[in-house]
Amino acid sequence: MIESKDQQYSESFSPPPPPWRQNAYNRPAMPTPPMPPMGGNFSGGSLPGVGDLFSQAWQILTERIGTFLIITAVPFTALIVMLAASFISLGARSDVKQINSLPEIGSALLSSIASLGLILVLWLAFLLLNLWAQIALIRVVVKREERIGVKEAYFYAIRKTFSYFWVIILSGIIITGGMFLFFIPGVIFSVWFGLAVFVLVSEDVRGMSALLKSKEYVKGSGLNVFWRFLAFGLIVFAISLVANIAIVVISFFAVPILGSIIGSYAKSIVGLFFYFPLQLVLMPLGVIYGYLVYAHLKSIRGPFEFAPSGGQKAGFLAIGIIGVLLPLLLFGAAIIALFSSFSGAKDLFKNPQINQNSLNSYQGTDNKNAANLNSADKNSDSDKDGIMDGLEVFYKTNPNVADTDFDGLSDGDEVNTWKTKPTNPDTDGDGFRDGDEVKGGYNPLGGGKTQ
């Protein structure tokens, strides 16, 4: 007996709930995509978008906000101390009205040196603490499941100081060199090697190997990685711009209320109140965001054998060094050329009469070599100075002016008789024109009276 359709489905079939009644527990499980093959190139399509990365980074930040804020507060506290010391030092210098004796000068000089030394030490301390804070933040993010504390993170950072600093130096040299090599290579290198610090802390791969492994993770996903970091940078820039506008507005109203002197300090104080908490949040957020990009790319790439050759390491380092040295060499060549031009033109400033002719540049060739040249027309001497027009081209003299350098001697007399330079009015450089020396009975080449 065949059952009716109503009887067939009355017990076994129940309609699914409408979409707005479904939840994460009764949705069908999505199949897990297979891992890509080892050693291949990947498009980076599985890399989350900017919004997802930012949301994930914010969630991780809020889970351990206390740890992240304490780690970040350490270097910024040192920065505030350094700024306070600078203000105190500048205020002490402004109290000095007049110095009237040598001991007072010495005391003021020693005080200034001590103040500058203190500020320098505080700056170095801030830079070192900032470096440690970056390593500690990455360590906390990498080991977030173990929930390590501030003390453990900073102890790890101290142990990794040299390795981290060396990775920063290497990437900085290569990226800077690429920037000088028409800019585009520098942008590419910054994307390739931007994850090297995460490779160092997460996998303990050091030096050039960390840079090249970062490049391996980014391979095939360069544009995606570039866009995600650029977008995060634009977000941070927008937040900082709003903070700057707020500081300017507040300081604008603070100066007329508090006075010019106190108002100027109020601007710095307001800036600290805005920037201090802002940086406490943005610095760890940026570290977490960068680590998430690295972690997703590592998951996409999967495990692989990595053994960079010495040639690869040396090649990238050579590119960076060449790129850094190239502008220095070009600058040095420009300086040498500038001094050479100045040396060649200094005779023009000795005697302004030389500027009356644009052809008076003497090449320093001995006059005796002139006999070996054949002029275009041996019988042509337009200015009647005793030198044929063809030879005037050789001497760089004006064939239409008998006395090119206007020193009182014709070009022919200078070349044939006195062996002086027809384009230099003072051949021996003694301050007297060649023609004046000849009229006075002196040798225009030096050596006193003529015989």
Give the separation between CA 276 and CA 274, rounded to whole angstroms: 6
**CA-closest candidate to residue 131, choices 71, 173, 89:** 71
Q: Compute the half-sphere exposure of residue 435: CA atoms within 13 Å on the CB side of its CA.
A: 15
Residue 409 in contact with residue 434, Cβ under 8 Å?
yes
pTM for this structure? 0.58
Task: Examine residue 381 and state whether it is found in any structural domain, yes or no.
Answer: yes
Instruction: Determine the structural domain holding residue 67 and report its residue range.
Output: 62-155
For residue 67, being part of any structural domain is answered with yes
Is 197 among the domain residues? no
Q: Could you say which of 118, 134, 155 is where a domain stops?
A: 155
**What pLDDT, in 10s, does the model give residues 339-355?**
766 654 454 444 444 44
Give a yes or no: residue 406 inside a domain: yes
DSSP β-bridge partners for residue 449: 442
Placement of tokens 């142990």 in the chain? 159
Q: Which residues of 148-184 are buried (b: 16+ CB within 10 A; e: fewer)?
A: bebeebbebbeebeebbeebeebbebbbbbbbbbeee
Contact 279, 76 (CB under 8 A): yes
What pLDDT, in 10s, does the model give residues 388-434?
877 877 888 888 888 888 888 888 888 888 888 888 888 887 878 88
Nearest in space to 227 (alpha carbons), one of 402, 36, 53: 53
User: Does 304 reside within a domain?
Assistant: no
- Summarised one tens digit per residue, pLDDT across range 4-39 is 545 544 444 455 555 444 444 454 544 444 444 333
Phi (first) and psi of residue 42, to 5 degrees: -130, 145
| Arithmetic mean of pLDDT over the chain | 74
pLDDT of residue 297 exceeding 70? yes
Report d(CA 253, CA 274) in Å as an integer.
16
In a domain, residue 180? The reply is no
* Distance separating the N- and C-terminal Cα atoms of the chain: 151
pLDDT digits (tens, 9 = 90+) for 75-132: 888 777 777 766 666 555 544 444 444 455 555 555 666 667 777 777 788 888 889 9
Residues sharing a CB contact under 8 Å with residue 58, sequence separation 6 or more, in sequence order: 285
Is residue 401 in some structural domain?
Answer: yes
Up-side HSE of residue 260: CA atoms within 13 Å toward CB?
A: 0
Domain presence at residue 429? yes
Q: How many structural domains comprise the chain?
A: 2
Two tokens, residue 261: 């002197």
The residue out of 98, 127, 155 marking a domain boundary is 155
pLDDT (tens digit per residue) in 221-252: 889 999 999 999 999 888 888 877 877 777 67
Q: What is the pLDDT of residue 369?
A: 43
